[in-house]
Structure 1
Amino acid sequence: MMEKPYHHGDLRAALLAAAEAELTEKGVEGFSLRSVAKRAGVSHAAPAHHFGDTGGLLTALAAEGFILFQNTLDAREAGAADARDKAVRAGLGYLEFALARPALFRLIFSSARPDFASPDLIAAANRAYQHLVGLVTTLGGGETDVIALWATSHGIADLSAGQKMRTLQGKPPEAREAMIRAVLLRCLPGAEAEFSKVPDRSL
């Protein structure tokens, strides 16, 4: 197959897009450089030239995945009423990303195939984590609160992406988001004092 002409910089982006599509369709087990090249419409040598091997491509895709993940959170957080609302919106963005790009979500959070010692991957992952820390710190929280918000957001996203959160699946979108918001609010610093004032009528 003849390699299509690309302007400088376009080929890498095209290969990453093809890699995500290949990962979505075949999973990590069926993922190969040759299949990615075929999907992108380029020579089979092109992915190896840019990424070295399958692990290199998956590592680059994981780094890109963290960037896209953070972009999703940033978009969700835009227009937040206050710091508390911003943290809740981040959790909703977590879910949005997992549902929209489940294969990429699993690659960056569950797979052992990417090289997590890669500087680019470390930088992208750290940016996402430090963003979470910043959200919690602004609310006066500490490490325990970071873990609580992260674990809750990730758990909801992971279970929902795997269609295991049946309680949420059976609800209309507005009711589903309202319930998720209520759960996330309970994870934020100061939630104990706030919710102790209000009787729980959610059941």
Structure 2
Amino acid sequence: MKKQASPAKRSTTRPKPAPGYHHGELQEALIAASEAILAEQGAEGFTLREAARRAGVSPAAPSHHFGNAPGLLTEVAIRGYDALADALREAASGKQGPRDKLHAQGLAYVEFALSHPGRFQMMFANKRLVADDARLRQASRAAGHAFEIVVAELVGSTPKQAKTAAAAAWSTVHGFAKLALEDKFGSVKTDGGRREIMMTLDQVLNYLWPVSGARR
């Protein structure tokens, strides 16, 4: 008499990703889908169900990997801060004097906001994110630190004063970016409007931190 196979043990692991996806690939697909929704519809148009639909997985899949909507959006925000920090560091790296570096960073900051409006707005939508997430705080500080390094070189003061001056610089370009996204300086939906916005920004930055040879 054949020995019957013992019943399969109940699995205690998380559900497997949909066919065709590895664990990491599914996470990337959900993040990409979320960023696409934010770019098209803004924060108000985002839902976990729509992110899952675009990624081609079950509605429950995002929860398995990110816990809930704030968890997924926090990952999007972290990557946004990482990309912004890279853009600010790159902008400063090709310049010589601190004024030129800060000017270039201001342009890069607003250009980032115009290029990724949904992601940019989500980065600062604290009520939609896991506000006490350690990685989110670290990513945000890294972006701010990119300003602090250049401002410290410019003002040549104590670390506390440099931090205050960096906050002023960040507030200036962030406020401009927010107004620009509301079409206060031109339409963000046309190439001509975006050029007008960046020309206005260049004039504002030259007034505050004129680059070499610029007229005030």
Larger radius of gyration: 2
Between the aligned partners of 2:194 and 2:116, the Cα distance in structure 1 is 21
Could you tell me the TM-score, scaled by structure 2's length?
0.75
Counting only pairs closer than 5 Å after superposition, residues 1-203 of structure 1 correspond to structure 2 as 3-139=18-154, 140=156, 142-166=162-186, 173=195, 177=198, 179-188=200-209, 200=216
Q: C-alpha offsets along residues 41-75 of structure 1, whole Å, 9 cap, x if unaligned?
A: 12222211110011111111111111122222233
Contact 1:22 1:31 in 2 (8 A): yes
The worse-fitting range, judged by mean Cα deviation, of 121-130 and 134-143 is 134-143
Between the aligned partners of 2:142 and 2:182, the Cα distance in structure 1 is 26
Between the aligned partners of 1:146 and 1:179, the Cα distance in structure 2 is 21
Provide runs of 4+ in structure 1 moved above 6 Å.
Answer: 167-172
The worse-fitting range, judged by mean Cα deviation, of 2-11 and 142-151 is 2-11
- Structure 1 residue 92: deviation in Å? 0.7
Letter in structure 2 aligned against 1:181: D
The answer for unaligned runs of 5 or more in structure 1 is none
The answer for unaligned runs of 5 or more in structure 2 is 1-16
Contact 1:149 1:187 in 2 (8 A): no
Number of residue pairs matched? Answer: 191
Between the aligned partners of 1:25 and 1:5, the Cα distance in structure 2 is 26
- Structure 1 residue 185: deviation in Å? 4.1
- Structure 1 residue 145: deviation in Å? 2.0
